[in-house]
Amino acid sequence: MKTNKKLNQQTSADKVLVIGCLTAVLGLVGCQQEGTAEKAGQKIDQAAEKAEQKIDAATEKAEIKIDAAKESLDKKTEAVQESIKESTDSSKGALENAGKKLDQATENAEQKIEKAKESVVDKAETAGNFIDDSVITTTVKAAILGDSLLRGSHIDVTTVNGVVKLSGTVDSEANLGRAVEVATAQKNVKSVQSTLLVTPVPSTK
């Protein structure tokens, strides 16, 4: 019986020892697994941190590029607006200059037309006066030649603006007065100027 008890006790002790050894082994294995899991967790954290840093860097770069693009677009837009404004101002200036030139040209043309009218009127008046003076001269000459008292006289007649000038010779003071009288009586004669000289005709006796 004692032998059996000792055997049973020995068996129980062996079992306890085996269980203890297994527990130790399992503990070591568990420790190793915990260490590996911790390292894996650290690696995952590091990878996540690096990925987050890369994402942040990429986001920052993208934001910088977006800001630069917006700034460039704003500058280009501003330049285009300025160019449009300058073009508009230039067009307005060109239109104003063209309007001024047109007004000046119109004014010059009107002045030239007015001067041309005045010139035509002046020439017409001059021509009319010349015609009138010629008619008056012819009329006065015909009247003098047709007068029986003045037929033997040598009288020249000129007319300027309706003023008749008599020059030459008559044979008496009476005929001098008669010549002025005949000339004054003609149509359109304004006045008569005389430089006639009295030259008596020599007697035939």
Task: List pLDDT tens digits, range 103-138.
Answer: 887 788 777 767 756 664 455 455 555 678 999 999
Residue spans of alpha helices (H) in the chain: 2-146, 173-184
Express each pLDDT in 34-75 by its tens digit. Answer: 556 677 667 777 776 776 777 777 778 778 887 887 888 788
Q: How far apart are CA 9 and CA 14, in angstroms?
A: 8
Counting residues of the chain whose pLDDT is more than 70, the rounded percentage is 69
> Please, which pLDDT band fits residue 15 given cuts at 50, 70 and 90?
low
**3 state SS of 169:** strand
Classify residue 163 as exposed, middle or buried by CB count within 10 Å of its CB (0-12, 13-18, 19+).
Answer: middle
DSSP string, 127-141: HHHHHHHHHHHHHHH
Residue 148 has pLDDT above 80, yes or no: yes
The confidence score (pLDDT) of residue 124 equals 47
* pLDDT confidence of residue 130: 64
Do residues 166 and 193 touch, judged by C-beta distance below 8 A? yes
Which residues, listed in sequence order, are joined to residue 163 by a DSSP beta bridge?
160, 191
* Secondary-structure class of domain 129-198 per CATH: alpha beta
* Longest Cα separation, the chain: 233
Residues 6+ apart with CB under 8 A from 170: 150, 153, 155, 176, 178, 179, 196, 197, 198, 199
CA dist., res. 182 & res. 164, Å (int) = 11
Q: What's the confidence (pLDDT) of residue 136?
A: 95
CA 61 to chain centre: 48
